[in-house]
Amino acid sequence: DNSLQKTSALYFPDALDTFIPPNTLNLSSFTKLMKKLQEIHPGTSREKIIDALLQVRTNNKGILSGLSINSIVKRTSLIL
């Protein structure tokens, strides 16, 4: 059965239809990141925060794994 090979992305239903590749963030990490970023940037929309997170991922060779949550928060905050 090659059903695992067909799974190309992990979907976060409350993330405005944003797809994040497997092994990039788990749901718990994503939730922590969003909570911290929304606390730091209360006037910023969820969509803009997600766009900034995706830019951080792009700037880091397409991956977030290996970066601490604090590092991701700092990099995202610089973009925002």
Average pLDDT score over the chain = 75
In this predicted structure, the answer to whether residue 35 has a pLDDT above a threshold of 50 is yes
| Mean pLDDT of all residues in 45-55 | 93
In this predicted structure, the answer to whether residue 77 has a pLDDT above a threshold of 60 is yes
SS (H, E, C) the chain: CCHHHHCCCEECCCCCCCEECCCCCCHHHHHHHHHHHHHHCCCCCHHHHHHHHHHHHHHCCCCCCCCCHHHHHHHHHHHC
* Residue 66 pLDDT grade (very low, low, confident, very high; cuts 50, 70, 90): confident
* Residue 64 pLDDT grade (very low, low, confident, very high; cuts 50, 70, 90): confident
In this predicted structure, the answer to whether residue 51 has a pLDDT above a threshold of 50 is yes
